[in-house]
Amino acid sequence: MSDAIPVTLIPGDGIGPEIVSATVRIVEAAGARIDWDRQLAGMAALNAVGDPMPVATLESIERTGVALKGPLETQLGSGYRSVNVALRMRFDLFANVRPARTLVPNGRYSGVDIILVRENTEGLYSGVEHYVKIGNDDHAAAESVAIITRAGAERVIRFAFEHAVARGRKKLTLVHKANILKLSQGLFLETGRAMARDYAGRVQFEERIVDAAAMQLVMAPESFDVIVTTNLFGDILSDEISGLVGGLGLAPGANIGEEAAIFEAVHGTAPDIADQGIANPSALVLAACLMLDHIGHEACAGRIREALETTIREGQTVTRDLGGSAGTHAFADSIIARLT
C-alpha cells in the first residue's frame, strides 16, 4: 500500500477486539487506504509485556500521529490512574470532540446535530487538590483549584472555530459560568469574545451560561450547532448530549492535540458482554469516521455514516442494545452490504 495513511490501531480490552475488527472491516470495505500499525495498550498490554502503556505503542502514535483505539481497562495498582488519561496527557490532547446526531428513529428528539468541543487538560480537572487541616481534623476542608490559562483557552476555542469552519458549521456557542466564577470562567469567555472577531461573517458566536445551556439542550437541542466549553462542563454536557441521541452506545469521541489525535468510542470495555460477539460496534465505527474526516477521507466517512444510518433505521440487522438480535459481525456485514 504505497500511498496508504499510517494509523496506530489499538484493539483494547473487553469488547474492544470484537468492535475493532468489525470496524476495520467496514473501513476497508469502504475503500479507505490505511496502513494499520497494530499495538497493545491497557490490560492486553499488561498481560503481554507487563506494561499497560508500552513504549512501542507510544512510539507508534508519535510516528503516525493518528490512533483508533478500543476501550482500555486499567488495573488497580498498575501505576496509572487510567491509561486513557495517561495517553491524553502524554500527547497533550487538549480538545475532546463529541459529535451527536439523531440516528435512531422515533426517539424523543429528532434533528439533533451537535458537536461539543471540551477543553481536556485544565479547568477544575487540573488535578490541583488538597485538604486543609483545622485543629485536629486533617480533612476539615478540601480545595480543588480550577485553572484556566489564556493559552489553554485560546487553543481550544481556536480549534472549535476552525472545526466549525472545516465542517461547514454556522454557529459556535461558548458555554461558561462567568457570572459567578468571574476570573477563571471570565478569562475563558473573554478569550472567546476576542477570537470571535477573527471569524465574524463566517461563524456566528453565541454565549450561554451553563445552567441555561443544560436546560436549552433538553428544550430545544436543535438550536445548538457547535459548542465549546471548559473541562467539567464539557464532561457533563457531552453525556447529556449523548442521551439526546440514544445514549453512549452510539457516541464517538476524538481527543485531539497538535501532534496526535486518538479516536475512540465513548463507552467502556463492557466486560459483561465481552467475547460473546454481541457488542454494538456503532460508536467505534462513528469514531473511525471522525478519524477518516481528520485524515482527509471525508467521502469515505460519509459513505460509512450513510450505510450505518440506513442499517440502524431499517432495524433488521442490529445488535440487541438497538432492539435487534444480530451479532457484531452480522451488523458489520449489513453495513458493508449497504456501502455504495
Residue 169 and residue 203 in contact, taking contact as beta carbons nearer than 8 Å? yes
| Contact indicator for 204, 149 with CB cutoff of 8 Å | no
Task: Name the catalytic one among 13, 69, 80, 125.
Answer: 125
Q: What are the two backbone dihedrals, phi and then psi, of residue 232, each rounded to the nearest 5 degrees?
A: -65, -50
CA torsion sign, 67 to 71 to 73 to 79?
Answer: positive
Give alpha helix (H) positions in the chain.
16-29, 42-49, 55-64, 83-90, 150-166, 184-196, 210-219, 231-244, 282-294, 298-314, 328-337
Q: In this chain, which of 169, 267, 297, 303 binds ligand ATP, going by CB under 6 A?
A: 267
Question: Going residue by residue from 215 to 254, which x/- string records binding to ligand ATP, judged by CB under 6 A?
Answer: ---------------------------------xx-----
Catalytic annotation on 125?
yes
The dihedral formed by the CA atoms of 298, 170, 285 and 216, expressed in degrees to the nearest 10: 180
Is-catalytic flag, 131? no
> Rounded CA gap, 154 and 86, in Å?
23
Q: Does 317 bind ligand ATP (CB under 6 A)?
A: no
Applying CB under 6 A, which part among 44-52, 57-65, 134-142, 276-284 lies near ligand ATP?
A: 276-284
C-beta closer to ligand ATP: residue 206 or 239: 239
Binding flag, residue 272, ligand ATP (CB under 6 A)? yes
Judged by CB under 6 A, the chain residues 158 through 197 that form the site for ligand ATP are none
Note whether 152 binds ligand ATP by CB under 6 A: no
**Smallest gap from residue 335 Cβ to ligand ATP (A):** 14
Query: Smallest distance from the beta carbon of 269 to ligand ATP, in angstroms?
Result: 4
Binding site for ligand ATP (CB under 6 A): 15, 71, 73, 248-249, 267-273, 279-280, 283, 321
